[in-house]
């Protein structure tokens, strides 16, 4: 078992080595294709490197902080009572900043700022090179439409004038510098600047901003320098390194400006809000103060507290005065009533005293008279003239007091009424004072509120202005835009290596595709993949188109291949008796007659007596190729009852041991002739006289004639022609073999063209050595094939 496994492994290794040899042989057979492909691809690589547009890589770095530390303005705001710092302390995320840097808006602003949709190229014989500030002019584009179709113009500076051409649109304009050139979608103005004029002229490309933005965005990339870092690496690819640096630097500047603008945008909005509120509060405060002044003027208010206090004091004084007057009136009335009663001879009480000194003096005098009367009454009688005189004085005093008291009382009444009116007015003022005071307080409160709000807004406006001024960008440029010293595209080693690779790949792919799409048999693998029938011989290409290639003392490759076929047949054919060999194929043109003729010749060279029978009755070619007359042959023998076999056997022109039986006239019923018993009799007669009987039959893939005579054959040779026989036609021999209609079939490969590597694995090198002599490749190959044939025979 171990020996068997070892043998199988050795066989597998041998097959693998054989496959590699086949592959190498196949590729070497088309060496001229590889040389041509190698030369073309290397030439193309050289031309590409010579004229390809260069691309430089421009690099830069931006550091992005997280914004947690804030700035001086933020710290100032945080110290105030109202904290606006959250409006300006915007957090920055590195990934968000990457999206912002790669945004279309930022690139569009860059294109618009640098007018990148207008590109100037220097023309050369084969290629062109983009310029930045090297051209002796610059262009101002005045667009007339939103959408611009891309166009190219050839520009030439002639005699200090500009000549603009576009053959496609039939544009040929000569204009002065600084003068607008009017076109369909826009106007162009060329401005002169110092610089050398290129003799080959210039090319100007004008496209829409959107197209330019798309093109530049594809060449721009942003990434983090490290996953733990907030530093962004910017890379930009551009054919002109100087212009590329300007574009990338401008993009970074616009990014920083936009970033700062975003941070101060809320401050600007806050200032605008504060200013609006200040204007509104100022208007409201002016209105309140005007109304308040008018209210104070209408109510004659200067100091509400003092005026209120004085009003209360006046009311109290007025009330006291009114009360005094009332008391005085009451006292006067009581005194008048007291005096008016004659019976009251007593003195007037002091409680009835009147504040008027005149009345007080009169009352005092009256009381003195009464006191005097009382004293006299103690000494004198009432009838005493002294007493009567005093009584008369008392009566006169009383009458005078009454008159005076009446007048005084009326005066007091008048004063009392006036006092009442004054007191009533004061009381009315006192009653309305709380309402005015409330209105006064409302005005005061609203005025104070607006004043506080006004002062607060003034304070916040100053704080916001300070914060805006002190706001700093949270991003900064670490490395400015800088181009590499050498272009990174095209890569010379890579392009040359790719040229070499394509020089090998394209021919190999062509060969593979050709084999893959091929439906005809080209290689040994094609045969092995479609049938398991043994290949007993391989015949090379016959460049001379000679019918007979095997002759005496001929050591050519073809003759050696037929000798190898003869050797192989001797191992599969029975020995000691006459042998019948049937030669057939799938269709006409595969070389049956050629194989039959030369196989008969090679057997004759070994001293054997051979007869060739032309039994392709439908389209006979064997006799014609051998230069023999075909008018008298097998057909005549079959339809004649008295004709002898010797009458149709003809000697060949190349060997005395080789004879030919031609087909004769083409019969109307070939199959019926081949079914005749006379065929069997003929074969028996021929076996008695010849060592080998070789039958050239009709193609078995087209008609059934070969199957009818197969029963007489000891071996059937199925001819396959390289590059001619279809792969699907091998199914014919497979079906015949599986059904037992071909008992001992063998394949012969004809017309092998190994010079092109077409049938690698066969031919044994005959395409590379045309020498003569000992040790031919065909003979050296025989042992390997013979071992297989021995196994088949067993």
Residue-number span of the structural domain to which 76 is assigned:
55-117+208-489
Edge-to-edge strand order for the sheet containing 186-192?
137-143, 186-192, 180-182
**C-alpha gyration radius of the chain:** 69
Q: Are 422 and 506 in the same domain?
A: no
pLDDT of res. 532: 87
For CA atoms 291, 293, 299, 304, the dihedral sign is: positive
The answer to whether residue 159 is domain-embedded is: no
Please, which residues bridge with residue 585 across strands?
719
Q: Are 435 and 547 in the same domain?
A: no
What integer is the mean pLDDT of 387-402?
76
Task: Give the closest residue to 675 by CA, choosing from 715, 713, 711, 627.
Answer: 711
What integer is the mean pLDDT of 510-514?
83
Q: In the chain, how many domains are there? A: 3
d(CA 535, CA 541): 17
Question: Which phi and psi angles does 546 have, rounded to 5°?
Answer: -90, 140
Q: Which of 190-199, 215-224, 423-432 has the lowest mean pLDDT?
A: 423-432
Q: Are 370 and 494 in the same domain?
A: no
To which H or E segment does residue 660 belong?
A: strand 658-661
Q: Are 12 and 65 in the same domain?
A: no
The answer to whether residue 704 is domain-embedded is: yes
What is the SS3 assignment for 487? coil
To which H or E segment does residue 742 belong?
A: none
Q: Are 19 and 85 in the same domain?
A: no
Average pLDDT, the chain: 77
Q: Are 250 and 271 in the same domain?
A: yes
- Count Cβ atoms within 10 A of the Cβ of residue 184 and give its class: 0-12 exposed, 13-18 middle, 19 or more buried: exposed
Q: Are 349 and 411 in the same domain?
A: yes
Q: Are 552 and 605 in the same domain?
A: yes
What integer is the mean pLDDT of 153-160?
86
The answer to pTM > 0.75 is no
User: Tens of pLDDT along 459-482?
Assistant: 877 877 777 666 666 778 888 989
The answer to whether residue 149 is domain-embedded is: no
Q: Are 566 and 697 in the same domain?
A: yes
User: Tens of pLDDT along 703-741?
Assistant: 888 888 888 889 999 999 988 888 888 888 888 888 888
The answer to whether residue 198 is domain-embedded is: no
- Please state the length of the chain: 794
pLDDT of res. 468: 65
Q: Are 233 and 368 in the same domain?
A: yes
Q: Are 598 and 470 in the same domain?
A: no
CATH of the domain at 730: 3.40.50.300
Between the alpha carbon of residue 436 and those of residues 308, 444, 484, the distances in Å are 10, 12, 86
């Amino acid at each position: 078992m171990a020996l068997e496994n070892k043998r199988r492994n050795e066989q597998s290794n041998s097959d693998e080595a054989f496959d590699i040899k086949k592959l190498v042989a196949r590729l070497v057979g088309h060496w001229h294709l590889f040389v041509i492909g190698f030369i073309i691809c290397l030439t193309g690589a050289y031309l590409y490197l010579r004229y390809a547009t260069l691309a430089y890589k421009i690099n830069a770095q931006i550091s992005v902080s997280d914004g947690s530390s804030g700035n001086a303005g933020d710290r100032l705001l945080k110290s105030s009572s109202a904290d606006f710092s959250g409006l300006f302390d915007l957090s920055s995320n590195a990934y968000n900043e990457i999206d912002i840097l790669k945004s279309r808006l930022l690139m569009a602003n860059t294109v618009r700022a640098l007018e990148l949709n207008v590109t100037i190229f220097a023309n050369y014989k084969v290629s062109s090179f983009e310029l930045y500030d090297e051209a002796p002019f610059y262009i101002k584009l005045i667009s007339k439409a939103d959408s611009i179709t891309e166009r190219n113009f050839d520009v030439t500076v002639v005699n200090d004038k500009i000549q603009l051409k576009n053959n496609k649109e039939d544009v040929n304009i000569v204009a002065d510098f600084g003068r607008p050139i009017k076109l369909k979608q826009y106007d162009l103005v060329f401005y002169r600047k110092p610089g050398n004029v290129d003799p080959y002229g210039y090319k100007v490309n004008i496209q829409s901003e959107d197209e330019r933005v798309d093109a530049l965005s594809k060449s721009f990339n942003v990434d983090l320098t490290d996953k733990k870092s907030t530093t962004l690496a910017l890379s930009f690819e551009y054919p002109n390194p100087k212009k590329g640096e300007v574009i990338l630097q401008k993009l970074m500047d616009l990014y920083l400006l936009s970033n700062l603008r975003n941070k101060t945008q809320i401050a600007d909005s806050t200032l605008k809000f504060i200013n609006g509120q200040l204007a509104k509060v100022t208007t409201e405060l002016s209105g309140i103060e005007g109304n308040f002044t008018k209210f104070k003027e209408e109510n004659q208010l200067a100091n509400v507290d003092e005026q209120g206090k004085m009003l209360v004091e006046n009311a109290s004084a007025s009330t006291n005065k009114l009360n005094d007057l009332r008391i005085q009136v009451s006292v006067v009335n009581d005194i008048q009533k007291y005096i008016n009663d004659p019976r009251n001879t007593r003195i007037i009480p002091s409680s009835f005293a009147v504040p008027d000194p005149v009345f007080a003096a009169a009352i005092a005098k009256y009381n003195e008279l009464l006191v005097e009367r009382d004293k006299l009454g103690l000494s004198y009688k009432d009838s005493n003239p002294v007493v009567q005189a005093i009584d008369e004085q008392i009566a006169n005093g009383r009458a005078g007091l009454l008159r005076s008291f009446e007048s005084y009382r009326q005066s007091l009444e008048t004063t009392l009424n006036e006092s009442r009116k004054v007191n009533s007015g004061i009381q009315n003022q006192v009653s309305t004072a709380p309402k005015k005071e409330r209105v006064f307080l409302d005005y005061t409160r609203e005025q104070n509120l607006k004043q506080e709000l006004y002062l607060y807004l003034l304070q916040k406006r100053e704080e916001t202005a300070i914060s805006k001024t002190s706001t700093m960008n949270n991003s900064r440029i670490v490395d400015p835009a800088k181009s590499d010293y050498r272009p990174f595209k095209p890569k010379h080693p890579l392009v040359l290596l790719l040229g070499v690779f394509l020089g090998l790949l394209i021919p190999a792919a062509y060969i593979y595709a050709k084999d893959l799409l091929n439906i005809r048999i080209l290689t040994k693998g094609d045969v092995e993949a479609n049938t398991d029938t043994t290949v007993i011989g391989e015949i090379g290409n016959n460049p001379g188109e000679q019918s007979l290639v095997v002759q005496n003392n001929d050591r050519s490759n073809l003759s050696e291949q037929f000798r190898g076929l003869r050797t192989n047949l001797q191992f599969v054919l029975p020995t000691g008796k006459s042998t019948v060999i049937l030669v057939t194929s799938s269709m006409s043109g595969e070389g049956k007659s050629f194989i039959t003729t030369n196989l008969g010749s090679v057997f004759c060279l070994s001293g054997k007596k051979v007869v060739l029978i032309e039994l392709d009755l439908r389209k006979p070619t064997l006799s014609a190729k051998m230069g023999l007359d075909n008018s008298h042959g097998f057909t005549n023998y079959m339809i004649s009852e008295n004709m002898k076999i010797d009458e149709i056997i003809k000697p060949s022109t190349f060997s005395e041991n080789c004879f030919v039986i031609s087909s004769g006239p083409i019969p109307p019923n070939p199959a019926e002739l081949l079914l005749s018993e006379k065929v069997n009799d003929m074969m028996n007669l021929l076996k008695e006289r010849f060592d080998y009987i070789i039958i050239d039959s009709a193609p078995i893939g087209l008609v059934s004639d070969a199957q009818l005579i197969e029963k007489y054959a000891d071996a059937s040779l199925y001819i396959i022609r390289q590059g001619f026989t279809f792969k699907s036609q091998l199914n014919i021999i497979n079906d015949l073999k599986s059904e037992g209609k071909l008992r001992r079939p063998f394949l012969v490969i004809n017309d092998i063209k190994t010079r092109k590597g077409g049938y690698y694995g066969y031919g044994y090198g005959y395409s590379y050595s045309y020498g003569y002599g000992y040790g031919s490749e065909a003979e050296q190959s025989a042992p390997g094939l013979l071992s297989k044939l021995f196994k088949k025979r067993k």
